[in-house]
Amino acid sequence: MEIRFQNLGHEHWKAEVMLAPACEGENLPKCCPELDKAAPWLAVAPALRDFKGKSEELALLHGHPELPVPRVLAVGLGPRERVSVDGLRKAIAHAVQHCHKKGFASILLPEPALASLPGGRERLIEECVCAALLALHRFSALKKTSADTPDPQWLALGFDGKSTPDEAHAAARRGEHAGEAVMLARTLANMPANLLSPEDMAGKARELAEEYGFRCTVLDENDLAKENMGALLAVGQGSVRPSRLVILEHAPKEHAGDNPLILVGKGVTFDSGGLSIKPASNMHQMKGDMAGAAIVLATVAALAREGAPRRVVGLMACAENMPGGRATRPGDIVKAANGDSIEILNTDAEGRLALCDALCYAQKHWTPVAIVDIATLTGACAVALGGEVAGLFSNDEALAERLRAAGGVCGENNWRLPLWQPYMEHLKSEVADIANIGPREGGAINAALFLRHFVADAIPWAHLDIAGVDWTDKNTPLCPRGTSAFGARTLLELARGGTQ
């Protein structure tokens, strides 16, 4: 769906349907003078008689000679004192899905209707655009073309001035880029593992680098061996598909010499558990174990696309965790890129192995202003926090606060968990410098502590564990069943807002 602007004044607004988001118990919002003039008629319009403005409520009105559009879709927001950006996002998505079902080809969102809602004008514009795009997104690449009604062709933001302020334009474009980044990450993470290997991830990265103009370098298994990345290599050695480290870089001219923000993503294209094999039920979900890497790729692509004034490096640690004849055995000891030996007591704790080498690489080749890694890392995090809030770990207060705020404004909430130092005890190995698992209890913390072991204290670092939030079992207005790419918007927001 294309995002358009109609900024010649309300007399010129045109679309098959206009959305009118309304608070519970209130009249329809002031969208344009015509709608206000039509208010007495609306008050008695049969379609609105039962409309209370409760959240999830919709009512479609047809035909009034005063109105610039043939239909108005009243969209309930719930009571004004409880209206939030999260609620507005869902309501807009719900309404756009309804328009799709009805077969409307074009939708108008009048910007004046947002004026009385909390959140700030530009934020609301960005969120509405992003929500409208996500509402229509489906993973349909592998299905025969369905008889589904086509998507609406465009959504226009209606401005009632003689011109659209640049800030409103920019906000809408941010929403569009954010929505498209999430959709890209979802498409990749929903792709089955037989169709998306570590090499395919690298191929996709190269393609996007070409399209949006950022740098992309791929390290193959020989390169990884030269970099002494024994941990990442260990994850992939039971698979016939070789591992890759994909290095992305967005470095606009004026910032080419800056120290970069570095984003690191877990890119396990399938996690069978390896020889410590997983139970059969739900194993298919492990095709999404590369969501972190997909999110990093989508974020860097979005930043390059909008020419963000900041140097950002993305590292995608890609491998397939399989129990083949060359697979790592429990008890094997490997060497990470920093020279530390790791005793692999459970081959299913592979994400931290892939990530630790990428973290070493980040510190060897750059002086990062900050490193943020994102990974579907532990079932324990899902148990601790459930399906709606991600785990956040950090060695730096300011970075943690920025990530909390970034997640909060875009509907991807995270909650800080402690890097509880005494638990480091549990990662001690009899025979190596560190073991790759601790006890089941505190599993998300143990994994985060393992990662921190590979990061210098002086470098602001944060880790987002998205294992619990990356998969949704039911369709919601903003996300169909499958992978959610939770965290893509957070990283984009962080990189846009500026880390130091």
Instruction: List binders of ligand BES among 355-384 (CB under 6 A).
Output: 376-380, 382
Take residue 242 and report the two structure tokens written for it. 């070789």
- State in angstroms the smallest separation of the CB of 376 from ligand BES: 4
Q: Count residues contacting ligand BES (CB under 6 A)?
A: 16
Please report how the helices 166-190 and 488-497 are oriented relative to each other, as an axis angle in degrees rounded to 10: 140
Closer residue to Mn ion, CB minimum distance, 348 or 465? 348
Give residue number: closest CB to ligand BES: 379
Contact 296, 189 (CB under 8 A): no
317: Cβ–Cβ under 8 A, 6 or more apart, which residues? 232, 245, 264, 265, 266, 267, 293, 354, 355, 357, 358
Distance CA 322, CA 351 (A): 13
Known catalytic residue at 278: yes
Does the footprint of ligand BES cover residue 465 (CB under 6 A)?
no
With CB cut-offs between 5 and 8 Å by kind, which of Zn ion, Mn ion, ligand BES, none does residue 437 bind? ligand BES
- State in angstroms the smallest separation of the CB of 269 from Mn ion: 12
Known catalytic residue at 121: no
Closer residue to ligand BES, CB minimum distance, 263 or 380? 380
Site of tokens 């979005």: 302
- State in angstroms the smallest separation of the CB of 443 from Zn ion: 12
Say how many residues make up the chain. Answer: 500
Q: Residue numbers of the site for Mn ion (CB under 5 A)?
A: 271, 348, 350
Among 127, 180, 249, 289, binds ligand BES (CB under 6 A): 289
Q: Residue numbers of the site for Zn ion (CB under 5 A)?
A: 268, 271, 289, 351
Among 351, 407, 442, 482, binds ligand BES (CB under 6 A): 351
Q: Which of 278, 404, 416, 481 is catalytic?
A: 278
Q: SS3 of 229, please?
A: coil
- State in angstroms the smallest separation of the CB of 246 from Zn ion: 18
Among 164, 259, 346, 476, binds ligand BES (CB under 6 A): 346
Q: Which of 287, 335, 352, 402 is catalytic?
A: 352
189: Cβ–Cβ under 8 A, 6 or more apart, which residues? 287, 288, 290, 291, 294, 470, 482, 483, 485
Among 111, 126, 221, 350, binds ligand BES (CB under 6 A): 350
Take residue 262 and report the two structure tokens written for it. 């570095």
Give the 3-state DSSP-derived string for 426-459, with helices as H, strands as E and coil as C: HHCCCCCCEECCCCCCCHHHHHHHHHHCCCCCCC
List the beta strands (DSSP E) in 152-294. Answer: 154-158, 215-219, 244-250, 261-271
For residue 127, is it left (φ>0), alpha (ψ between -120 and 50) or beta? alpha
- C-alpha atoms less than 13 angstroms from C-alpha of 250 in its C-beta half-sphere: 30
Q: How far is CA 462 from CA 278, 296, 349, 379, 385, in A?
A: 28, 14, 19, 19, 18
Does the footprint of ligand BES cover residue 484 (CB under 6 A)?
no
Q: What does the DSSP assignment read for 286-353? A: GGGTTHHHHHHHHHHHHHHHTT-SS-EEEEEEEEEE---TTPPPTT-EEE-TTS-EEE-S-TT--HHH
Closer residue to Zn ion, CB minimum distance, 289 or 373? 289
With CB cut-offs between 5 and 8 Å by kind, which of Mn ion, Zn ion, ligand BES, none does residue 356 bind? none
Closer residue to ligand BES, CB minimum distance, 75 or 315? 315
Does the footprint of ligand BES cover residue 24 (CB under 6 A)?
no
Among 238, 274, 443, 480, binds ligand BES (CB under 6 A): 443
Closer residue to ligand BES, CB minimum distance, 387 or 498? 387
Among 208, 437, 445, 469, binds ligand BES (CB under 6 A): 437
Closer residue to ligand BES, CB minimum distance, 39 or 383? 383
For ligand BES, the binding residues (CB under 6 A) are: 271, 289, 346, 348-351, 376-380, 382, 437, 443, 467
Q: Which residues are catalytic?
A: 278, 352
